[in-house]
Amino acid sequence: MVTVDADGFKSAMLIEPDRFDDPSLEAATRIIEKNRLNPKFTVTPVIRCIVGKQVRNYNTYWVLVNAARYDVAERLRKVVLTKTKVDLAQQPYHGGNLKLDAYA
């Protein structure tokens, strides 16, 4: 079970760990896809995934790319680059090296 927290939109999802290299990335991708038409859903630079006691922050740019939402990924990238001088495309897709942990 992966719990995804995307700016207050929380959802628990059962992801088959043997079917995906990164079940948390798949869960984050699914919350993006599920809320694609939801006007109240906002995209922030970081999506948090929780599995048990393990918490991982995911770079939303790469989650959007994984969901084939290239247009939204590029818009997010430009906004963050302008505001923070951090290029999301140059950041890892998750982990401790992610410079945007403050957004999580």
Which residue ranges make up each domain of the chain?
2-103
Confidence of residue 9 (pLDDT cuts 50, 70, 90): confident
Which pLDDT score is estimated for 68? 95
Which pLDDT score is estimated for 7? 79
The answer to whether 27 and 13 have CB atoms below 8 angstroms apart is yes
Confidence of residue 41 (pLDDT cuts 50, 70, 90): confident
Given a cut of 70, whether residue 89 has pLDDT beyond it is yes
Range in 18-22, 31-35, 95-99 the model is least confident about: 95-99
- Total Cβ atoms within 10 A of residue 5: 18
Residues 40-57, mean pLDDT to the nearest whole number: 90
